[in-house]
Structure 1
Amino acid sequence: MTEILEQEHAEATQLEPEDKLYQYSHFLKEFTQKLQDISPEFQDMPLPEFQDVPPEFQDVPPEFQDVSPEFQDVSPEFQDVSPEFQDVSPEFQHVSPKGKKTLQCLVCLKVFLKKSQLILHSRIHTGEKPYQCPECERSFSEKSSLTTHRRIHTGEKPYRCLECLKEFLHKFSLVRHMKIHTGEKPYQCSVCFKDFSQKSCLGKHMRIHTGEKLHRCSECPKDFHQKSDLVNHMRIHSDEKPFQCSECLKEFSYKASLAQHMIIHTGKKPYQCSVCFHNFHFKSKLVKHLRTHTGEKPYQCLECLKEFSQKGSLTRHVKIHTGLKPYQCSECPKEFSQKYDLTKHMRIHTGENYYHCTVCLKDFDRKSRFISHKKSHKGNKPYNCSDCVNEFTDKCNLLKNMRIHKS
């Protein structure tokens, strides 16, 4: 070991003064590395040479000359570790099968190669969270977790998709998003063979087959497969509508409902009926409209077997059998099974008319009557009587005419 020191000392004296700082740092690093290759009995030998700087290095800046004694045997990356963690007790030390010294957690017996890894891991058991957010005072066990968390307050999204330029807060969110562009769906349902891009989505999907509904509403006995569905459902009871249209200020309970509504303001009606060429904003509206031509009624009441073209009509009809009328008028004792029916009824008391004809200035309290009235100005009479030559603007008047022939 003396020969090593003399060799390094001789090489250092031959350098120019401006290179001595680099050489001194290099000398410490190389000497530490060579000590690790020496036999174990020399590894714990004290190193007085590090405490007294040789004369040829006296021009090194002061902050590099004096090495604090308690950090002399600690690797540079661990010099900021609290003193109580610097000396690892023998019971933590563990020797791997390859003869390499490792450190072992006494609680769960997990083995680590570095002291810093053991320190971070020990916080899982102790619950220590030394890093606190100055914005919301939330604490974290690792500094990297705090750095990621602070992006929520700053709005920083450092991970960007190169395909669509969408930005993300976390790297794993970007990795997950990229599967949309690649079309990769590595997770398959063993029951219906449907593919999914994420394992969590497959897990949620499997509840459909098992019938498992873990999330129950506290207001009514309805259960849900997913927590997000329960959160959306609770807005029915609270009447919360957090999503507002920036154009007309109309409020919605669901984000998807707002997105659909915004299409109305664009004026676009990309879905056209192939029979009557009527255009619609949404595909779902077109599907419902086509049933008026085909006569399809896929929804059937289990009590009276009556069929309906729309699911909402069936839901309203079922309440006839239950007799439940939870909506009561505050002006009169009349009760209703639907909130919508109560709203229409209240217009009788308030005298309010929502629909106004700009041609003849006539007002209407119901949309269906208003639509039928507008057809009279256009001269459009699509409902023809099969028994006479009369034509009508709406189906209601046609049915009245049909009763005359039957009587």
Structure 2
Amino acid sequence: MHTERQFGSSRRDVMTAGIAAGTTALAGCIGGTGVDPENGDESGSYTVTMAPMGKLEFDAVPENAFVTFTQYADMAVALGHGDAVSTLFAPEMSGTTMNKFYERLPGVSFDWEGLTNPLQNGVTKEQLYSAESDVHFLDPSYVLTTQDDWDASDIEEITNTVAPWVGSYHSGVHSEPAAAYADSYEYYTLWELFETVAAVFRERQRYEALKGVYEDTLARIESNLPPEDDRPTVARVTLGDGVFYTYHLNTPGFWQAETRPLGAHDALADVEWSGDWGTVDYETMLEADPDVILHLWGITSSYAIADIRQRLESHAAGSELTAVQHDRVVASGMRYQGPIMNLFQLEMTAKQLYPEQFGAWPGYEAGQPYPEIPASEQLFDRDRVASIVTGAGGDGE
């Protein structure tokens, strides 16, 4: 039986429809604790352990990484291995969003141009043989649940003849894995998954240093949260054509890594859905009537928050929403977040929900970098993070 590493059991079923096309994935992304990255000779082979795959063998630190969702690219950058990324889901959207955050980290950037989307036309064995990658940052269970022509023997074939798989897609919302992994699947947090990726790249020290920044940030947030009765009701949604694509705030899974620690009241907590996300109409949103609307993907190039506000204001029902009337419809980030993105998204969401405690959110303008935050109101030290990532000194060496 697949185990719950944190937060209890899931209410959700796995989303069986593929999300190869970028627009479907946007409308509607993989966790792990690996063994110590020094498990092996410094210049030779080593192993990393992760459920449901078990022990993964590497001859050397990967130089060519097959990357799917953005969290893996962000992890690679965080560990000083951004150049290893050879593919990326929705590369222009993902890459530009990553760099919006990195703009605030001296010396950190990601070169996404020229990368292809490995999910654009589905995942094939021919594709993986041709890529000749050193590691596949993709959950094999995701492949089995979204691709009709794969089975467990195909997964094993790629492992043995090309490279290991590293990922835990279903840890996103604790959805059900493929039947082949029902007895061996485990759910991981974002930072546990990052630990495994650090083991793959043999970058334990960078991982520990960044985890220290995260723990300091989390402690600062948790110690300053207002009493529960003073916290707002919040809807985490993406506006579609006449509907809202919906996500929860406080449920298990790393898709909620920037909202769950903030403990706000989920305006849609009682609304259930069977897939990884749901949809509600304007009537349901009016019934929930949140104080704040976090528009997921709002900081990406796929949406402009000013346009979202205008659409809501010009809609008969949308204009009646409290969040719209009080100008609290804000640009939220990506659920495909790695450790660097998680730090920024924790900060931005804390300011959006609790400006009195963490300083006002200055707003976000489409196409621009993550906004400048006064040093006294930053929830984590940019120079400290940049130093770790670039290896410029201190914790990063």
Bigger relative contact order, structure 1 or 2 (CA pairs below 8 A, ≥6 apart):
2
Tell me the TM-score normalised to structure 1 length: 0.19
Tell me the TM-score normalised to structure 2 length: 0.20
